[in-house]
Amino acid sequence: MNFDWQYFLKALIQLPEYIPVTLIMAIFAMILAIVIGVIITVFQLSPFWILRRFAHFYISFFRGMPTLVQLFLIYYGLPQLFPSLRGIPAIIAAIVGLGFKESSYLSEIFRAGFNSVDEGQIEAGKALNISKITLFWHIVLPQATLNALPATGNTFVSLLKETSLAFTLGLTELFGEGKMLAGESFKYFETYLAVGILYWILIIIYTWLQSLLEKELLKPYRRDLNEPDRSEGPVS
Amino acid sequence: MSLIEVKDLSVNIGKKKILKHINLNIEEGTVTALVGPSGSGKTTLLRTLNLLQIPTAGSLKVGTTTAIAGKIDTKTIHDLRQNSAMVFQQFNLFKNLTALENVANPLIYTNLANKKEAHKTALKILKKIGLEEVITQYPATLSGGQQQRVSIARAVAVRPRVILFDEPTSALDPELVESVLQTIAGLAKENITMILVTHEMDFARQIADEAVFIENGEVLSKGPAKELLSGRTSPRIDSFINSLKRSAFA
């Protein structure tokens, strides 16, 4: 087997230098996706049909188009229509493109999160004369956020991997650097394996952090993690 | 003067007539049991008294607030709900709040008390019904009986003029029913006005002053609970009570 272990290890040591670019892109795109995702969710749940229609169109448009096409539209296409956007940094274009794309998925996840809060609690709140906004902020939102957390985490995992498409805009991130190394050395397998393993490690770390967060946040709600007091105490 | 006055109240859901021309007066400090077969409209009537269900025709007055069908706005709903609180069949506790917060936070959210006062009030009520041990626990970690008692405490805390109970024990395991019934009986002794939808006939006979028998969306009969629920006043009520007994032994 013609596998150059030495080169593989060298790539594995050299490539992490580009992890910060990948992470910056993923984190900022995720923040943007969450902000837009929340707005689109609010539109989806709005009583106004025009906002619901717009949300439906937005989700359909951004989910239906390949990520690469969206990145090209933003980076190469928009400056043609708006010359002031000429020279926009590739990393900004990538963050915006990925953020818009993932927001369409997130808004569906958030909507499911809101719908999973049972109607009974909302009805109890209404019966107690709690205003809709207070009810949303203190009761619905915290529960919807928890319910949406696992799927939101999966979106971040996808996003992290999709940042590799940013090399097509000329940005040197983890995959882009790997591509260059492979081109110079012709050691394609070793280089791309190192790149793949680094993405994998990032995702393992993220998944572990998310599971810790989920465990901590869900602790109060889980009967098996608490000692339920099933005794029916005295009634005075 | 009656605390609650229901006049010619009708409720349609879609094309279905759920309540038809209901007339009812409920005095302050009394316990009224709403009884009748499943699907007769008892729960709809209870929900209409809190305007969780908007009436199609007629009017209802709770305390000083009158709601007339067709003229019910958000202010009317807000004013009317200040007089009442509701206890639901499925407890409907706020799952992200502890037992104490479930009772205290509605007081804070509705500006009835500041945080300190609300917690003091909540603690006092929860202690009174024997739940001081579970105040820091979340609903998911409580038994059904405890959840329902927290939900009763939540209703009591807002100091309503009337508490509406919608089959408060029907979602509970039989061994947990007693503690909830004792809690409700405790409130009855304090002369809190209560309207109770229930299938617990013995309990209703024991604590209710008045009973209303509803069938097919109409008030078939009303009168003193002990008399009406003995079944001796009407063959229909007698057959209903017997059917409940049969299903209890089945």
Residue B71 placed within a domain = yes
Same domain, B155 and B37: no
pLDDT score recorded for residue A218:
83
Residue A210 placed within a domain = no
Tokens 């939102």, located at residue? A141
Mean pLDDT along residues B13-19: 92
Residue of B nearest to A230 (CA): B143
First and final CA of chain B: distance in angstroms?
Answer: 44
CA separation, residue B167 to residues B35, B38, B181 (Å): 10, 11, 11
Q: Is B37 helix (H, G, I), strand (E, B) or coil?
A: coil
Quote the DSSP letter at residue B130: T
Question: The complex's ipTM?
Answer: 0.89
Mean pLDDT along residues A219-231: 58
Q: What is the mean pLDDT of chain B?
A: 91
First and final CA of chain A: distance in angstroms?
Answer: 81
Same domain, B215 and B247: yes
pLDDT score recorded for residue A234:
41
Dihedral over Cα of A71, A73, A77, A82: its sign: negative
- Tens-place pLDDT, residues B24-48: 999 999 999 999 998 899 999 999 9
Dihedral over Cα of B235, B240, B243, B248: its sign: negative
Contacts of B95 in chain A (CB under 8 A): 121, 143, 221
Q: How far apart are CA A133 and CA A23, in angstroms?
A: 35
Tokens 């019966």, located at residue? A127
- Tens-place pLDDT, residues A69-92: 999 999 999 999 999 888 899 999
Q: How far apart are CA B243 and CA B245, in angstroms?
A: 5
Residue B143 placed within a domain = yes
Q: How far apart are CA A66 and CA A83, in angstroms?
A: 25
User: How many distinct structural domains can be found in chain A?
Assistant: 1
In DSSP terms, which residues pair with B87 in a beta bridge?
B165
Out of B95, B140, B179, whose CB is closest to A121?
B95
Among B159, B183, B214, where does a domain finish? B159
- CATH at residue A142: 1.10.3720.10
Asked if the C-beta of B206 comes within 8 angstroms of chain A's C-beta atoms, the answer is no
Out of A127, A131, A135, whose CB is closest to B85?
A127
Same domain, B164 and B244: yes
> What confidence category does residue B72 fall into, taking pLDDT thresholds of 50, 70 and 90?
very high
Which domain covers residue B107, as residue numbers? 89-159
Quote the DSSP letter at residue B230: T
CB contact under 8 A, B81 and A223: no
Same domain, B11 and B55: yes
- CATH at residue B65: 3.40.50.300
Same domain, B204 and B153: no
pLDDT score recorded for residue A223:
63
Substitution target from B75, B96, B164 for chain A, most A beta carbons within 10 A: B96
Mean pLDDT along residues B223-246: 80
Which domain covers residue A61, as residue numbers? 20-173
Same domain, B54 and B164: yes
pLDDT score recorded for residue A221:
73
pLDDT score recorded for residue A65:
94
Question: Is the pLDDT assigned to residue B1 strictly greater than 80?
Answer: no
- Tens-place pLDDT, residues B179-199: 888 889 888 888 889 999 998
Contacts of A146 in chain B (CB under 8 A): 96
Residue B125 placed within a domain = yes
Among B104, B133, B159, where does a domain finish? B159
Residue B178 placed within a domain = no
User: How many distinct structural domains can be found in chain B?
Assistant: 2
Same domain, B205 and B136: no
What is the distance in angstroms between the Cα of A215 and the nearest Cα belonging to chain B?
A: 15
Tokens standing for A76? 């190469």
pLDDT score recorded for residue B250:
56
Asked if the C-beta of B130 comes within 8 angstroms of chain A's C-beta atoms, the answer is yes
Under 8 Å between Cβ of B208 and B225: yes
Under 8 Å between Cβ of B167 and B201: no
Same domain, B58 and B97: no
Residue A194 placed within a domain = no
Same domain, B150 and B140: yes
Tokens 């028998």, located at residue? B213
CA separation, residue A233 to residues A83, B55, B132 (Å): 73, 40, 9
Contacts of B91 in chain A (CB under 8 A): 120
Range 131-170 of B in CB contact (< 8 A) with A: 131, 133-134, 137-138, 140-143, 145-146, 151, 154, 158
pLDDT score recorded for residue A128:
95
Under 8 Å between Cβ of B35 and B196: no
Contacts of A134 in chain B (CB under 8 A): 109
- Tens-place pLDDT, residues A189-210: 999 999 999 999 999 999 999 9
> What confidence category does residue B170 fall into, taking pLDDT thresholds of 50, 70 and 90?
confident
Tokens 């409130």, located at residue? B187
Residue B190 placed within a domain = no
pLDDT score recorded for residue B236:
82
Q: Is A22 helix (H, G, I), strand (E, B) or coil?
A: helix
- Residues ≥6 apart with Cβ < 8 Å to B133: A229, A233
Question: Is the pLDDT assigned to residue B242 strictly greater than 80?
Answer: no
- Tens-place pLDDT, residues A51-73: 999 999 999 999 999 999 999 99
Residue A74 placed within a domain = yes
Same domain, B148 and B165: no
Question: Is the pLDDT assigned to residue A229 strictly greater than 50?
Answer: no
pLDDT score recorded for residue A19:
95
Q: How far apart are CA B172 and CA B163, in angstroms?
A: 20
